[in-house]
Chains A and B, each alone.
Chain A
Amino acid sequence: MKNTLRQVFRSGKFVTGFVIFSAILLLAVIYPIISPGNPLQMIGLNSFIKPGTYVSVYDSLNTQRTYTFKLPGAAEKRIDSKLSNEDRLNIKDYLLRFGLPEEAVDIEQTHDLLALWWNNYDPELRLGSTIAENRYFARLDDKLAGIFESEDIEVGELDPDTGEYVRKKMVTETDYVNVSDVANVIRLPLGTDNFGRDTFRELVSAIGTSLQIGLIAGTVATLIGLLLGLLAGYLGGVADDIIMFFSNLFTVIPGFVLLILIAYSIDQSQRGVTTVAIVIGLTSWVWTTRSVRAQVISLRSRDHVNLSKLSGHSLPRLIITDILPYIASYVVMAFILQISSGILAEAGLSMLGLGPKTTDTATLGLMMDWAMRYTAHISGAWWAYYPVVLVIALVSFSLNLMNTGLDQIFNPQLRD
């Protein structure tokens, strides 16, 4: 046993898969501890808020201390962020009419662009083709002139008695606040989903739930498969024929069709996470049954099994001491694959609208379903579905990698 484990952990593939899987598992376990809270709380009132750190505007004005910094590029950056793309294109349009070569005008370089404008704009020239256009250029010139004017902002408060604004504070261009001084800061590493829920927190909780689904489905499938495989392989005869008939049948009749039919037929209120997981397990025991049966048949006629039989050992004892240890590696490998296919099955089912009917937990499939229903992929809200796809792919990749590693250890033919 110890030796086998040592051998297993010497396989590069297994270890890589194990590390990736453990990292994901640790994230799902540890993150809720260090940052507790309801993962499905709808904190944002807009949908698909993009990733980043959000500071309460209100609180930032009320912070006790402000700091003064004089940064060299601050003014440029500010102008840069204020000048809209449309304005830039219009400036370029004017400059081209003025006769500047196309390559001389770069709308990305705010400083140069403005310099060109001020050097070349002349309202007398009337370069616009219509009066309206000429008026527009004049307005644009006014706007650009204002861009460099003092940016100090006056903050006023409405006096409830007099109904007049009372000056409360001047915010100058060089005022800064420290984020840690602001009472309300929200960090949304992956933004929010369509319901305004913190996607990252939701994702972490979904990983946990999906792993649970995989584990339950895998356990159910492995137990059924093990039991049927043992029965078929050990008893042989009619029992074997019947079991093999059904496993051959369910090899060709696609499992996901059964899954859809069963999931749809279950009363909606009962279609919780556990139910879905069990249903997935119930439809995916075929491969375990087959591989266990094949192993048991080859074991049945081995000397140590015969010896045990002759010594009058009971069937359970015989199975536990003489058969299980020899098929353990295959069962573990099948179990690992079942976990990953269980997670994938849940995702597919949820995308068809047949996932767990629940409003208090998220699963990876449900997150994907929500993102698709609210067309995150069309509105460019990548954070609502890319991380989900990546996590599903990584979980299944790590499990497959572990499986391949084990396969190479236990089937030396495949070793490099």
Chain B
Amino acid sequence: MKGYRKYFTKKIVWFLITLVAAVILNFVLPRMMPGDPVAIIVGRVAAGVNDSSSTQAIYESYQRDFGLDKPVIQQFFIYVKNLFQGNFGKSFSRYPTPVSDIIKSALPWTIGLQFPAIITGWILGNILGALAAYIRKGFDKVLMPVTLFLGGFPAFGMAVILLSVFAINLGMLPVQGGYPAGMIPSFSWTFFTGIIKHYHLPFWSIVLISIGGQSLGMRSMSIYELNADYVKYSRYMGIKDRKIVGYVFRNAMLPQITGLALSIGTMIGGALVAEIIFSYPGLGTTLLRGIRESDYPLIGASTLIITIMVLVTVFLLDIIYGLIDPRVKAAQYE
């Protein structure tokens, strides 16, 4: 039990440290550039809006909320205080909608799309990788280059290919959006089937990419485990091969959880860009809109939420891994 407590304490402390670092970076990076870019960026909004009096109003309210005229340290504390209140300021491009409202409506779409897709891809990738390692021969010869190709494939590329084939050419599935255009989100059956229809393409494009990334790692992990001494010993103790494959699969898969934790940041990044292709109403599309419309508060909030999403996922994966892999517990005794 002591080993577990040590492990979890370590993980929680680390999670908090990364969280603080992420907030600091999100605050500091835009302000570190020469000539206070936040001021410039806020100024940029003037170029887009013709009505000069409303521009002035937007600018002033932002300055007031975030204390841009005060020293940087003070600005930081105002920033943190605002964060705790869930206040990211008001959107420039859709003034006076609070940014938190926009994020709140986008976040469920991203979470609902990406996590099931990444987990499905992870599971399928692991199964394929294990099979490739176990069967070898022809299966491996074909699967290996295919997954290598998929693994290096950009997520948006997969998205655009699936889109053009299944939505444009075959007309099987809708082209864009997260739900049927013109429909008002509600808890009705037709709306739900509409969501499912729009879900397919973004979902499968992320799944295919994740399969590519995961199965290679699983394959080498399984090959390594298949050569382990316990496999030989179990065989000579008369245990059936099928059962031994189960041991190997479990042992190879557990480190893959850590592998997922390490690659989840990149995967989510890729998937956000894939969202854009489908104009899926998630964070990726929101971020894109923020960038195109020079909506600084929206960009800052999106990047922060994405980072927090990644950090929480990594933390949860670490916890799950700690709970199910006894090797972690043992490592803490050393």
Residues of A within 8 A of B (CB): 248-249, 251-258, 260-262, 264-267, 340, 344, 347-348, 351-354, 368, 372, 377-378, 380, 382, 385-386, 389, 392-393, 396-397, 399-401, 404, 413-414, 416
- Contact A389–B161 (Cβ < 8 Å): yes
30 contacts between A and B (CB under 8 A): A249-B18, A252-B314, A253-B22, A253-B25, A255-B266, A256-B265, A257-B307, A260-B291, A260-B299, A260-B303, A261-B26, A261-B303, A262-B29, A264-B299, A347-B154, A353-B288, A354-B291, A368-B156, A372-B160, A372-B276, A377-B277, A382-B164, A393-B152, A397-B153, A400-B151, A401-B145, A401-B148, A413-B223, A413-B224, A413-B227
Please indicate the chain A residues that have their CB under 8 angstroms from the CB of B156 in the complex.
347-348, 351, 368
On chain A, the residues within 8 Å of B307 by CB distance are 253-254, 257
Does any Cβ of A come within 8 Å of B273's Cβ?
Answer: yes
Flag if B163 contacts A252 (CB, 8 Å): no
Point out which of A249, A254, A262, A368 has the most chain B C-beta atoms below 10 A from its C-beta: A254
Asked whether A344 lies within 8 Å of B154 as measured between CB atoms, the reply is yes
Q: Please, which residues of chain B bring their CB within 8 A of the CB of A249?
A: 17-18, 21
Q: Which A residues lie within 8 Å of B164 (CB)?
A: 377, 380, 382, 386
Interface segment out of the listed B31-39, B77-85, B101-109, B321-329:
B31-39
The answer to whether A255 and B265 touch across the interface, beta carbons within 8 angstroms, is yes
Inter-chain CA distance A262–B29, complex, in Å, is: 6
Task: Give CA–CA (A414, B224) in the complex, Å.
Answer: 7
Kindly list chain B residues whose C-beta atoms are within 8 Å of the C-beta of A380: 164, 168-169
Main secondary structure of the interface of A (DSSP, over half): helix
Q: Given A260-B287, A265-B37, A351-B276 in contact, is the A254-B306 Cβ separation under 8 Å?
A: yes
A401 contacts which chain B residues (CB < 8 A)?
145, 148
Query: A402: shortest Cβ distance to chain B, in Å?
Result: 11
CB contacts (< 8 Å) of A386 on chain B: these are 161, 164
Contact with A along B249-293 (1 / 0, CB 8 A): 000000000000010011011100100110000000001100110
For the complex, give the distance between the alpha carbons of A3 and B157 in Å: 39
Tell me the residues in window 207-254 of chain B with beta carbons closer than 8 Å to chain A beta carbons.
216, 220, 223-224, 227
Chain B residue at smallest Cβ distance from A354: B291
Q: State in angstroms the CA–CA spacing of A393 and B157 once bound together.
A: 8
Tell me the minimal C-beta distance from A124 to chain B in angstroms. Answer: 42
If A351-B273, A352-B287, A378-B168 touch, whether A254 touches B152 (CB-CB below 8 Å) is no
Contacts A260-B303, A372-B276, A392-B154; A352 near B288 (Cβ below 8 A) = yes
A348 touches B269 (CB 8 A): yes
Chain A nearest CB from B236 CB (Å) reads 23
Measured in the bound complex, the distance between the Cα atoms of B287 and A264 in whole Å is: 12
A264–B151 Cα gap in the complex (Å)? 28
User: Which residue of chain B is the closest to A253 with respect to CB atoms?
Assistant: B22
Alpha-carbon gap, A265 to B41, bound state (A): 8
Given contacts A251-B262, A254-B306, A266-B33, contact A414 B21 (CB under 8 A): no
Number of A-B contacts (CB under 8 A): 141
Question: 9 other contacts beyond A253-B18, A265-B37, A380-B168, with CB at 8 A cut-off?
Answer: A256-B265, A257-B307, A265-B29, A267-B33, A351-B156, A372-B277, A386-B164, A397-B148, A413-B224
Q: Which residues of A contact B152 (CB under 8 A)?
A: 340, 344, 393, 396-397, 399-400
In the complex, what residue of chain A is closest to B305 when comparing beta carbons? A257
Specify the chain A residue showing the minimal Cβ separation from B40.
A267
Q: A297–B26 Cα gap in the complex (Å)?
A: 34
In the complex, whether B310 has a CB less than 8 A from a CB of chain A is: yes
B43 CB → nearest A CB, Å: 12
Q: Which residues of B are found within 8 Å of A416, using beta-carbon distances?
A: 136
Q: How many residues of B contact A (CB 8 A)?
A: 58
Q: Is B311 an interface residue (CB 8 A)?
A: yes
Instruction: Using CB atoms and an 8 Å cutoff, list the residues of chain B in contact with chain A.
Output: 14, 17-18, 21-22, 25-26, 29-30, 32-35, 37, 40-41, 136, 145, 148-149, 151-154, 156-157, 160-161, 163-164, 168-169, 175, 216, 220, 223-224, 227, 262, 265-266, 268-270, 273, 276-277, 287-288, 291-292, 299, 303, 306-307, 310-311, 314
**How many Å lie between the Cα of A261 and that of B136 in the bound state?**
45
The reply to whether A261 and B148 form a contact with Cβ atoms under 8 Å apart is: no
Separation of A353 and B295 alpha carbons in the complex (Å): 13
Say yes or no: A348-B154 contact (C-beta < 8 A), given A264-B299, A380-B168, A400-B148: yes
Q: Which residues of B contact A396 (CB under 8 A)?
A: 152-154
Query: Who on chain A is nearest to B268 by CB?
Result: A254
> Which chain B residues border A344 with CB–CB below 8 Å?
152, 154, 270
B18 touches A252 (CB 8 A): yes
* Residues of chain B within 8 A of A351, CB atoms compared: 156, 273, 276
**CA A397 to CA B299, docked complex, whole Å:** 32
- In whole angstroms, how far apart are the Cα atoms of A397 and B149 in the complex? 5
- Across-interface contacts of A414 in B (CB, < 8 A): 220, 223-224
Task: Give 10 closest A-B pairs by Cβ, nearest first.
Answer: A254-B265, A396-B152, A389-B157, A256-B269, A261-B29, A265-B30, A265-B33, A265-B37, A353-B291, A400-B152
Out of B25, B37, B277, name the residue touching A258 (CB < 8 Å): B25
Smallest CB–CB gap between B257 and chain A, Å?
Answer: 15
Check A256/B266 contact, CB under 8 A, given A265-B32, A344-B154: yes
B149:A393 contact, CB within 8 angstroms:
yes
Expressed in whole angstroms, the Cα–Cα distance for A266 and B29 within the complex equals 10
Nearest-Cβ distance from residue A249 to partner chain B, whole angstroms? 5
Q: Of all chain A residues, which has the CB nearest B267? A: A254
Which residues of A are found within 8 Å of B169, using beta-carbon distances? 380
Q: How far is the CA of A400 from the CA of B144 in the complex (A)?
A: 12
Cα distance A53–B310 in the bound complex, in angstroms: 50
Given the interface contacts A265-B32, A265-B33, A377-B163, does A252 sit within 8 Å of B311 by beta carbon? yes
Neighbouring A residues of B287 by C-beta, 8 Å: 260, 352
Report the minimum CB–CB distance from B264 to chain A (whole Å). 8
- The answer on a CB contact under 8 Å between A389 and B21 is no
**A265 CA to B154 CA, complexed, in Å:** 25
Chain A residue contacts of B262, Cβ below 8 A:
251
Q: Could you tell me if A264 and B30 are in contact, using CB atoms closer than 8 angstroms?
A: yes
Compute how far the CA of A258 lies from the CA of B288 in the bound complex, rounded to whole angstroms. 15
Instruction: Report B-chain residues with C-beta under 8 Å of the C-beta of A413.
Output: 223-224, 227
Q: How far is the CA of A249 from the CA of B23 in the complex (A)?
A: 13
CB distance from A316 to the nearest CB of B (A): 32
Q: How far is the CA of A378 from the CA of B164 in the complex (A)?
A: 7
